[in-house]
Chains A and B, each alone.
Chain A
């Protein structure tokens, strides 16, 4: 089964149904007097119809081969990918609490070290320099309100 592409189209159809429902709840109005739900409903409807056409044409003959389907997921370095996304989510979630300096140094330590094994002193130096560079650029240069966090840094 060419599962990936089938699931993909089904997801888009599901999203379109939700958007159309949301549009109707907001109020479609009429063509004479369109209301806020008018555009979401129309866009959702177009999305659903196109996904349906893609699904039908794929079922008939246009979908990539099973081999291509497998290839899509074959080369993924799952541990690295999940680690990276996990770290980025954690950084985003804790950014205001632990502050820019502490959070960024920790994030960079993990990312520099996780991607390629390097001596710790190299990783620590690189993380500190990069954080300082970003602090200068964003805090001093762009006047961004970077959070200080519980350490006050």
Chain B
């Protein structure tokens, strides 16, 4: 009964005209940045963060969340039509989506991608509604040792799942922790590594860092490519998948949904990993594995469903524990804090209208996306025809002005450029930026939790192993470090699978 009351509250908030408008704006911008290669949801959210200062916390979070799951929808369009993923979570959609398009089945590929995303998104929200409230009660038992161990586990999971080389991924996480210490110390107020630059007293900004590492570096990489994009000019028809398409895809969608949702919940998991793993599983369970990579509709349905449900699942650790599970959630954490809302177990009690309003808006947003994606595909295709030589100066300008507008500071622009060059070199050397950013965001929280726990235990590290939740998290984290050392496991590690996929 409580659940129905809460949902009623949520929809009454989400359906207010202002919130509906921001939801629409969010999913529209999300689809747009998902369609445009080089500009992902993180960059878009960074850019629009200052714009949300003028509105209510509920409306701003509704819009920013809309950008995230909207980008998941939009990313599939470029993957299918151009063989270029609009954002990272759509990489796997390229493999079969583009092949379907080459065979004249772009319509059903786009259709199943949109319907699969809708089904997964809706079921993901249902999961969020069911899991989040009990998890809040559980999270109230958390103290500094538990928070520290959970954040360590999140970082370990991310490095374990995403990277080809776990050592290098861990190196980037360590670098993120170092960067996170720049600025005033949370406990003593002492300035650290600021080099007498006043702008660094507040630390390195998340927006310049993220825009540099993800936005500018991507543009710099694209400058050296001489690939000419091939876009299908034939009129798209038959967007509705046939009954046979549905029969082949429905179980893939459901499997992708469940898998994506749980991978989304895991700190360090997320939409990208969910889409990779779901594709690998589909190929393994399929009766026609030889069709994968040649235009199997299951190869489009499963990763699209997985990345959308993961996008919903990722909200759970943020809204219940106050821990962002990925970079996008870190942006949302920043937005909540700016609005004076502290994410964590008390959020549900102190701001129920925000929690349930955002949850209900996701359902509304998913319905809007279905309406946007199918009829407006032609318009998105037109956008793809903009030459990259026009597009890339615009993306660069977005990043420069986005960094500047946070504090009206050219130092932030300079930091972003430096991060862009570092990000470019990192990509060249196969160093992952995601663990760096997640560690950078979690770093200050992790440090505070570690120091508080050590002060409480009078310097004994036993506190992390004598409390059950903390001990469980740390044991799993240690196991994740040890497992890649085992020769049998090294060949089967998800990172190794990604490497093989990449090569093929």
Contact residue among B167, B185, B220, B401 (Cβ-Cβ distance under 8 Å from A53): B167
Closest residue on chain B to residue A7 by CB atoms: B429
Partner of A43, one of B177, B225, B421: B177
Enumerate 20 A-B pairs (CB-CB under 8 Å) in ascending A order.
A19-B178, A26-B192, A30-B459, A33-B459, A39-B177, A46-B174, A46-B177, A50-B171, A50-B174, A57-B167, A75-B224, A88-B400, A92-B417, A96-B410, A107-B393, A108-B393, A108-B397, A111-B392, A112-B389, A138-B401
| B404 in complex: contacting residue of A26, A53, A89, A95, CB < 8 Å | A95
Contacts of A115 in B (CB 8 A): 223, 389, 392-393
Contact B50–A40 (Cβ < 8 Å) = no
| Interchain nearest-CB distance for A14 vs B (Å) | 13
| Contact pick for A47, options B175, B187, B414, B451, CB 8 Å | B175
Question: Apart from A54-B168, A75-B225, what are 6 other A-B pairs with CB-CB below 8 Å?
Answer: A12-B175, A38-B447, A51-B171, A111-B396, A130-B393, A130-B397
The A-B contact count (CB < 8 A) is 144
- Tell me, rounded to whole Å, the shortest Cβ–Cβ distance linking A47 to chain B: 4
A126 interfacial by beta-carbon distance below 8 Å: yes
Contact indicator A43/B397 (Cβ below 8 Å): no
A58 to B337, CA, bound (A): 43
Contact A144 B224 (CB under 8 A): no
Using Cβ atoms and an 8 Å threshold, which residues of chain A touch B167? 50, 53-54, 57
Q: Is the CB of B188 within 8 A of A36?
A: yes
Asked if A32 contacts B190 (CB within 8 A), the reply is no
Residue of B nearest to A31 (CB): B459
Q: In the complex, what distance in Å separates the CA atom of A123 from the CA atom of B157?
A: 48
* Closest chain A CB from B385 CB (angstroms): 15
CA distance A8 to B417 in the complex (A): 20
A77 at the B interface (CB under 8 A): yes
Total number of B residues with any Cβ neighbor in A under 8 Å: 53
Q: Is the CB of B450 within 8 A of A39?
A: yes
A51 CA / B223 CA spacing, docked (Å): 30
Q: Which of A63-83 contact B (CB under 8 A)?
A: 72-73, 75-77, 80-81
Contacts of A130 in B (CB 8 A): 393-394, 397
**Considering the chains assembled together, what is the distance between the CA atoms of A39 and B443 in angstroms?**
9
* Chain A contact patch, size range: 35 or more
Return B180 CB to nearest CB of chain A, in Å.
8
Which B residues are in CB contact (< 8 Å) with A33? 455, 459
Known: A31-B454, A77-B223, A130-B394. A36 touches B190 (CB 8 A): yes
Kindly identify, within residues 43 to 93 of chain B, every residue whose CB is under 8 Å from any CB belonging to chain A.
Answer: 50-51, 54
Considering only residues 406-449 of chain B, those with a C-beta below 8 Å from chain A are 408, 410, 413-414, 417, 421, 428-429, 443, 447
Q: Is A152 an interface residue (CB 8 A)?
A: no
Instruction: Specify which chain A residues have a CB less than 8 angstroms from the CB of B401 in the assembled complex.
Output: 134, 138, 144, 146
Is B170's beta carbon under 8 Å from chain A? yes
User: A149 contacts the other chain (Cβ, under 8 Å)?
Assistant: no
Contacts of B451 in A (CB 8 A): 34, 38-39
B192 with A40: CB separation less than 8 A: yes
Chain A 127-148, CB within 8 Å of chain B: the 1/0 string? 0001000100010011111100
Could you tell me the distance between the alpha carbons of A50 and B113 in the complex, rounded to whole angstroms? Answer: 41
The reply to whether B393 and A32 contact each other, CB–CB distance below 8 Å, is no
A30-B459, A84-B223 known; A141-B394 Cβ under 8 A: no
Task: Judge if B197 is at the interface, Cβ distance under 8 Å.
Answer: no
Chain B positions 363-412 with a Cβ under 8 Å from a chain A Cβ = 387, 389-390, 392-394, 396-397, 400-401, 404-405, 408, 410
Indicate if the CB atoms of A32 and B171 lie closer than 8 Å.
Answer: no
B21 interface residue per 8 A CB criterion: no
Q: How far is the CA of A73 from the CA of B425 in the complex (A)?
A: 10
B417 touches A89 (CB 8 A): yes
Taking a contact as CB atoms closer than 8 A, the residue among A22, A72, A91 that contacts B428 in the complex is A72
The one of A38, A62, A111, A142 in contact with B393, judged by C-beta atoms closer than 8 angstroms, is: A111
Q: Contacts A34-B451, A142-B50 hold; do A43 and B178 have CB atoms under 8 A apart?
A: yes
Contacts of A88 in B (CB 8 A): 396, 400, 417
- Are B170's CB and A50's CB within 8 A? yes
What residues of B have a CB within 8 angstroms of the CB of A96 in the complex?
A: 410
Task: Specify which chain A residues have a CB less than 8 angstroms from the CB of B443 in the assembled complex.
Answer: 39, 43
Q: Which of B165, B167, B193 has the most CB of A within 10 A?
A: B167
Name the A residues within 8 Å of B408 (CB-CB).
144-145
- C-alpha gap A95/B223 in the complex (Å): 24
B309 in contact (CB, < 8 A): no
Question: In the docked arrangement, what's the CA distance between A89 and B400, Å?
Answer: 11
Q: Verify A47–B174 contact, CB threshold 8 A.
A: yes
Within 8 A of A (CB), among B135-181: 165, 167-168, 170-171, 174-175, 177-178, 181
